[in-house]
Chains A and B, each alone.
Chain A
Amino acid sequence: MKKKTRRLVLWGLPILLAAIAAAVILALVLRPPQRTGLLWFAVKESEDHITPAALGCEDYYGALDAGALLDALMDGPRDPLLESPFQGVHVLSWELDQEGTMTVDLSEEYGGLSGVDLTLADYCITLTLSQLPGVEQVRTLVDGEELPYRSKQVFNAEDVIFSGTEEEPVEVDVTLYFPRQDGAGLGSEGRTLTLTEDMPVTQGALEALLQGPEDTALRAAVTHELTVLAVRLDESSGICYVNFSTQWWDCVPESLWEQRLMLFSIVNTLCSMDKVTQVQLLVDGAALDALGGLNISGPVAPDWTLVGAAD
């Protein structure tokens, strides 16, 4: 038995090592090429479903220079789900200036594109070339001339929206106004809210206000639980209508000054946003009469005099 084991080890070990070495070499030789960039093309329309984005990309493994990228673009996509918007088009020349503008001159076939097809083609070139260091924006010409019917001639990678993004949270900076701890007036607190399209900025800001301040020099505008039923901005008039639940009555402080601070916490916060000039408060759909000694049956304008020095 011992002899057998020794023989096994003597013969087996070199074979095993050789196999491992061969596997490593094969892996190195057959390893997939490294991606150097992306090529952008239009997404093929399907009868069965609508894709969220009209532009899509595929991996690019070639040299990361303008000529190679443009040639690869003109050759068309390998991905069957993508299609080339440059049918019959070829690149005449390309040049990068010192301001970072890459000018690409294309053949006259490019001039046959119009409308959204032209936009798709422009952005395929822009997004692809924007990967190159030093390229800030892209201009496309046809036979050395600009297309006169196009509203923009220079394209930027940041100027395109790919999909609805309604469900993607976006960070929005808002300013919230809370009563100060000393009760002398209102103090402001900057807050970054993460919002989806379901939650308007006004509603998001109001919800954040009701949660209370993070700054210890400030205190909550509303001390009890309060539900916001609806927030609607009438852009034409700039009036923001806020409908609270009947919990409002539990939240109203006894002191008139405190009531005023509570009122303008809400009004000033909302009016600090674009397009909001006044705020109409409602409780369960009905307008309120008075608060803090003020008539609030109609829209209320902000009172910036209550806002003290910055914290």
Chain B
Amino acid sequence: MICDTYKDDLLEAAVHGQAHERLEKHLDQCASCRETLESDRAVLDRVQHLLRSRMGEEPSAGFLPRTRAQIAHDPERGWSHAWGLAAAIAGLLLIAFLNFGTSPRHSQTESNRSAAIPERQEPVVPPAQNMPSVLKASGVHTPAHAAQPAQFPMLSARAPEVLVPPDEGRAFRRFVARLAEQREIAEAFVSSPVAQTVAQQNELPDISPVEIADLRVIPLAWEMWKQPQWSGPYVARKITSGSEQK
């Protein structure tokens, strides 16, 4: 016969681990309730045993290495393809600009900035007339960083200034930061093969003036380039309407 008198109390007793006084008295007399209580306790023990064994399992040996690898290749934190492309473009810019200004054999002081900026085959003219005011004011293409050794980290002490399209500025900075992280690549970029190896005029590569947006990058005259105040063989000028700004 099934006894319903203490049905809920039995469950409570099984979960709680002990029965209250009235139930204890009832259990002394009721075999059915004793059996139910034992059964409930056995179920709970079994549940506990199963959960314990499940919750005591160890992950496989490959779990942590796999997780680490997944985190290392997480696209939301790593470099996206777009960044890679931006970095590649920025890299070209970096090569173009840094190569002109990292020759170890030249040095530059603030007073040297007032030196002339002649083109090849052109007469030397005073800088006030020659250098575009916007560039002179900002120091663009003045080799302020030329005194730094060609090896990294040359960027941190006296940072060169570079003109880039506004939307490429961040990519460019990240690229430079990446170079800072990978010294050997940085050294390959910043050591200018032209500046280090050319000793004779006839070894100078024949480069025509190049226009980039409103800037004209012009080869300097050989004799001017060899002067200590100029670290590279080029100068940039701003193009104004009709002619170059002087």
Answer whether A and B are interacting partners: no
Interface residue ranges, B against A (CB under 8 Å):
none
Interface of A with B (CB < 8 Å)? none
